[in-house]
Amino acid sequence: MARKTKSENGIVETIKTVVYALLIAGVFRTLFFQPFWIPSGSMKDTLLVGDFLFVNKMAYGYSQYSCPFGLCGFLGEGRILASDPQRGDVVVFRHPVNGEDFIKRLIGLPGDTVQIREGRVIINGKEVPQEPAGTFTETYEKQGPMGYYPRCENGPVGEGGDCTATRLRETLPNDDDTGPGVVHDVLNIDANGGGDNTGIYTVPEGQYFFMGDNRDNSLDSRFAQAAGGVGFVPAKYLVGRADRVIFSSAGRSMLAFWTWRADRFFKAVE
């Protein structure tokens, strides 16, 4: 009988350990960091399809969209421990209409005017400097679990061929427009893409304007929500900031170790 009791106690302790571990993981995911896989090429070459990162939820505080399964619904329209994002941050946010998580770069702050003219970003009437930064080259093949092919400036490209895009180094202004801010790379695929020439957007108070770094392959704030874009994004939809790639795989599955990109492990997001 004593042996049976000891066995039962062992099972109970195992169950308790699993429950505690799940609770700790749940709290960690809810309050601190959310895992995020990059499913598309809209942020190349800053982020590649198959990059895995943790989103820093503490960066901007917490809203009803910060927690999984609606656990933060009690916050309503508010946000606690709020902190303003900085221009140039790479941000994960909830799409205001379809509820999906998106990741883009913050370009326009509340009160800014933003326009794109011949592929160049103009913020508050000043053109954002760009300079040539070589060529981005990748293999033309299916990428990630979704199996999408990359878009190529030199297309059409056959399976296994080199798919290229012009890389430009862009220097955003500081939040107060007084000097240089975040420096990052963008890609250009089309000489006159659908988002290369726009009207002037005035960012409303409490909202933000986002763009993908792969400028001709990103549905972002340049495009209305009705057209599949994201439009302006209210602050309550911000989930967190992407700071560092933890792991990266170029294959259809993370188990395909021969497709791992070891040079991207723990790479800072710039």
**CATH at residue 192:** 2.10.109.10
Range of the domain at 2: 1-31
Residue whose structure tokens are 């927690």: 67
Length of the chain: 270
Please indicate, yes or no, whether residues 27 and 53 belong to a single structural domain of this protein.
no
* Pair (167, 235) in one structural domain: yes
CB within 8 Å of 3: residues ≥ 6 apart: none
| Catalytic position from the list 40, 44, 63, 104 | 104
> Are 10 and 95 members of one domain?
no
What local confidence, expressed as pLDDT, does residue 43 receive? 97
Q: Is 228 left (phi over 0), alpha (psi -120 to 50) or beta?
A: left
User: What is the chain's mean pLDDT, rounded?
Assistant: 86
Kindly tell me if the per-residue pLDDT of 227 is higher than 80.
Answer: yes
Q: Are 31 and 231 in contact (CB under 8 A)?
A: no
Q: 5 pLDDT exceeds 80?
A: no
Spatial distance between the Cα atoms of 25 and 30, rounded to a whole number of angstroms: 8
7: pLDDT strictly greater than 90: no
Q: Let me know whether 26 and 136 are in one domain.
A: no
Tell whether 6 and 101 lie within a shared domain: no
65 and 183 share one domain: yes
What H or E segment, with its residue span, contains residue 9?
helix 2-31
Q: Is the pLDDT higher at 202 or at 74?
A: 202
Say how many C-beta atoms besides its own lie within 10 A of residue 22's C-beta.
10
Question: Which of 42, 218, 221, 249 does the annotation list as catalytic?
Answer: 42
Together in a domain, 207 and 221 = yes
**pLDDT over threshold 90, residue 250:** no
pLDDT of residue 21: 45
Instruction: Give the whole-angstrom CA distance, residue 268 versus residue 243.
Output: 6
91 and 10 in a common domain: no
Burial of 238 (0-12, 13-18, 19+ CB in 10 A): buried
Residues 77-124 pLDDT 10s: 778 887 899 999 999 999 999 889 999 999 999 999 999 999 999 999
Give bridge partners of residue 164 from the DSSP assignment.
Answer: 137
Residue, of 33 and 149, whose pLDDT is higher: 149
Residues forming beta bridges with residue 130, ordered by sequence position: 170
- Amino acid at site 39: P
The answer on pLDDT for 11 being more than 80 is no
Domain check: are 8 and 58 in the same one?
Answer: no
Does 7 participate in catalysis according to the annotation?
no
- DSSP conformation class of 60: S
Least-confidence region, from 65-74, 143-152, 180-189, 214-223:
65-74
Are residues 116 and 196 in contact, defined by beta-carbon separation less than 8 angstroms?
A: yes
Distance CA 127, CA 67 (A): 38
Cα–Cα dist 233/209, whole Å:
7
* Domain count for the chain: 2
68 with 201, same domain: the answer is: yes
User: Strand pairing of 180-188 and 51-56?
Assistant: unpaired
8 and 79 part of one domain: no
In this prediction, residue 123 carries a pLDDT of 97
**Distance separating alpha carbons of residues 230 and 235, to the nearest angstrom:** 13
Regarding whether 47 and 3 lie in a shared domain, the answer is no
42 is catalytic: yes
